[in-house]
Chains A and B, each alone.
Chain A
Amino acid sequence: MSAPSPTRTPPGDRAGEHAEPAGSGGPHRPRSRPRPRAAAGRPHAAWALPGVLFFTFFAVVPMGLAFYLSFTSWDGLGDPEPVGLDNWRKLLDDDRLVQSLWLTVLLTAASWVFQTVIALLLGVWAAGRQRNRAVLSAIFFVPFLLSSTAIALLFYALLDPNFGIIQENTLGSSGGAFLAIVFVGGWQFIPFHTLLYQGGARQIPEVLYQAAAIDGAGRYRQFFSITLPQLRHTITTSTVLMVVGSLTYFETVLILTKGGPGTDTAILPYLMYEAGFKSYDFGYASAIASFLVLAATGLSLILVRLTGFGGMRSTREGM
């Protein structure tokens, strides 16, 4: 397969080129079927270039730059000065790093359980087409219409001990602050995940339930034997979005707890924000950011592998 050839190449060539990758996996079309002109209308790969360049400039280059900056000392003014591994040594010696990683794991796990259980049940329930379910679903969606900032402010106000519903300093204890972040995250994102599950549940073929009913399976048996297994793709998608999202509870933490009490809710992005934009130690902030990039990339590689997102292209081959 050579470099992208212009679209006017003799059709035969391009058709061959098209058939080639299909051979690598999945059932592919019979080769005997002639498809001479189909390939003629394929766009040049260069069409993708503006988007790739734009994304590279604003997302990929900065990632590289973060690594570079992590080996420098820079206060935001003047030029970064190389300091070797200083920032990384400092980072690995920083007690807050371990605390913050542990916090992220706990936060992700707690949020996942809270959001998945409720969203799944609500989603499957909302997939029914009764009138009351439709009305309630419409109301359940309302929190998602507010921005994370607005929601964090709302709960900041409601949890204020002088004002709020709970006349206690919830955010003053580390357990309370942690639970508040999990709850606020759930309050905001459960509507969205409910929607995903509702969509997923509606696509389960009815015959499965009919067959199960004939076999005498009750409602709960059907839920565990049909609904849950059939929803596995939705569960993966929703999980990916939740895990990636839990790295970004930044607004919630900044507004609700400022990382406190002490540093008990200081997730990595918050530590980075403080190091960079509060202490003007951009070198150290970049080391934290690089660590975050490594963690996120590792996570996404694992997720891509687990979920088969990468296989997206190939599903078409079988059609």
Chain B
Amino acid sequence: MSHDTLPRPRPRPGTTGERPTGPPPAGHRRHWTKRANPLAGLGSILWLVVVLVPIYAMLSASLTSQDKALTGNPLSPPTSPTLDNYNTVLNSGFGHLLGNTAIVALAVVGIVLVLSVPLAYVAVRTRNRWSGLAFRLFLLGVAIPAQAVVVPLYLLIAKLDLYDSLLAVILPTAAFAMPVSVLVLVGTLRDVSEELYEAMALDGASPQRMLFQLAVPMAKGGISTVVIYAALQAWNGFLFPLIFTQSDGPRVLTLGLFNYVSQFGVNIPALLASVVLSGVPIFAVYLVARRALVGGLMGVGGK
């Protein structure tokens, strides 16, 4: 989606010069700019309200002191805004949670890329029974919910002596991010034209060289999709940390948030402040690299 969310001057509807100001994307077309659609406009405003009211209530309440929060209307602006709730959260080990989550996300992305790229490459380039089977395994894996295997995984993790460690979160999270990653990569890699491989083969290139000098550069879009998808899986993962960790040491952000419910009790403003803080890192990425993030996510849907 890269091109679209970025506002740029549009030619007036009806003018003949239809040339876009940027590189013309595949879908840059006349009919979209024809005329206003009042009904759709109204609908979008309604949805805007649905999106913004909870976010506004959250921000406003997180700036309100606890005693005021219970008496006031959550939709009215805070009368005497305070950062106390944010201080409370930041002093409850928030940085530690954030650090753990970042480690998990990096490790998961690394493992998924290292394992999935060669796999997808083989699935596309080497047609035989084995690569077909491997592909089918991941095709079926798409629908295995992590919940279904959490009990036996708990047993495995305990036997491997990994219980209550970051690896206990990293390894299963990476495994469960693989099916979609493989499908996305296969989808991208199969579009690399055969002629290019042939040309490299004529030069005597090894499969390794073709992978790194042709397939990987050509599949950049798919790879960035996988990076974003895997990172989000790790960032948002809740079940594996809930079941496989226990102590403060390897606790990640999502589980930390969950624990704040009992820790802060009825201190809902502090709870909401922790929710806001948990969203800040991804929001920062969104501000800086919206095109890459959104474009990458679009890739999860294929084309």
Is A52 an interface residue, CB under 8 A from the partner? yes
Is A35 an interface residue, CB under 8 A from the partner? yes
Complexed CA–CA distance, A276 and B155 (Å): 12
CB contact list, B161-201 vs A, under 8 A = 171-172, 174-176, 178-179, 182-183, 186-187, 190-191, 193-194, 197-198, 200-201
Chain B residues lying within 8 Å of A296, measured Cβ to Cβ, are 143-145, 148
Given contact pairs A62-B156, A209-B31, A250-B238, A41 touches B207 in the complex (Cβ within 8 A): yes
* Residue of chain B at shortest CB distance from A282: B151
CB contact list, B90-142 vs A, under 8 A = 111, 114-116, 118-119, 121-132, 134-142
**Contact count band on A:** 35 or more
Given contact pairs A45-B126, A52-B137, A154-B58, A59 touches B149 in the complex (Cβ within 8 A): yes
* Residue of chain A at shortest CB distance from B156: A62
Inter-subunit contact B10/A292 (CB<8 Å) = no
A116 CB, nearest partner CB in chain B, Å: 13
Is B298 an interface residue, CB under 8 A from the partner? yes
Is B216 an interface residue, CB under 8 A from the partner? no
Chain A residues lying within 8 Å of B69, measured Cβ to Cβ, are 163
Given contact pairs A43-B121, A202-B4, A125 touches B74 in the complex (Cβ within 8 A): no
B191 CB, nearest partner CB in chain A, Å: 8
Is A299 an interface residue, CB under 8 A from the partner? yes
Inter-subunit contact A292/B128 (CB<8 Å) = no
Complexed CA–CA distance, A313 and B198 (Å): 19
Inter-subunit contact B53/A165 (CB<8 Å) = yes
A13 CB, nearest partner CB in chain B, Å: 12
Complexed CA–CA distance, A296 and B144 (Å): 6
Inter-subunit contact A43/B29 (CB<8 Å) = no
Complexed CA–CA distance, A237 and B299 (Å): 11
Complexed CA–CA distance, A39 and B253 (Å): 48
Chain B residues lying within 8 Å of A60, measured Cβ to Cβ, are 137, 141
Chain B residues lying within 8 Å of A125, measured Cβ to Cβ, are 37, 40, 43-44
Give the number of residue pairs across the A-B interface with Cβ within 8 Å.
Answer: 387
Inter-subunit contact A150/B302 (CB<8 Å) = no
* Residue of chain B at shortest CB distance from A157: B268
Given contact pairs A65-B155, A140-B51, A199-B301, A163 touches B144 in the complex (Cβ within 8 A): no
B150 CB, nearest partner CB in chain A, Å: 7
Complexed CA–CA distance, A129 and B3 (Å): 9
Inter-subunit contact B52/A127 (CB<8 Å) = no
Inter-subunit contact B119/A38 (CB<8 Å) = no
* Residue of chain B at shortest CB distance from A144: B297
Inter-subunit contact A315/B190 (CB<8 Å) = yes
CB contact list, A1-39 vs B, under 8 A = 1, 3-4, 7, 17-18, 20-21, 35, 37-39
CB contact list, A84-139 vs B, under 8 A = 118, 121-122, 125-131, 133-139
Chain B residues lying within 8 Å of A179, measured Cβ to Cβ, are none
Cβ contact of A163, chosen from B31, B55, B74, B149, cutoff 8 A: B74
Inter-subunit contact B10/A130 (CB<8 Å) = yes
* Residue of chain B at shortest CB distance from A284: B151
Cβ contact of A292, chosen from B53, B145, B272, cutoff 8 A: B145
Complexed CA–CA distance, A290 and B119 (Å): 28
Complexed CA–CA distance, A61 and B159 (Å): 14
- Which of A149, A219, A234, A240 is packed against the most chain B CB atoms within 10 Å? A149
Given contact pairs A38-B198, A165-B74, A155 touches B126 in the complex (Cβ within 8 A): no
CB contact list, B255-285 vs A, under 8 A = 255, 257-258, 260-261, 266, 268, 271-272, 274-275, 278-279, 282-283
Chain B residues lying within 8 Å of A216, measured Cβ to Cβ, are none
List 5 A-B pairs, Cβ < 8 Å. A48-B119, A76-B154, A150-B254, A163-B69, A282-B151
List 19 extra interface pairs beyond A131-B7, A299-B143, CB under 8 A. Answer: A7-B207, A50-B114, A59-B172, A65-B149, A121-B43, A125-B43, A125-B44, A134-B7, A147-B253, A154-B58, A195-B294, A199-B1, A200-B301, A219-B37, A241-B300, A248-B147, A251-B254, A292-B148, A312-B186
Binding site for A on B (CB under 8 A): 1, 3-8, 10, 25-33, 37, 40, 43-44, 47-48, 50-55, 57-58, 61, 69-70, 74-75, 111, 114-116, 118-119, 121-132, 134-156, 171-172, 174-176, 178-179, 182-183, 186-187, 190-191, 193-194, 197-198, 200-202, 205-208, 210-211, 235-236, 238-239, 243, 253-255, 257-258, 260-261, 266, 268, 271-272, 274-275, 278-279, 282-283, 286, 290, 294, 297-298, 300-303
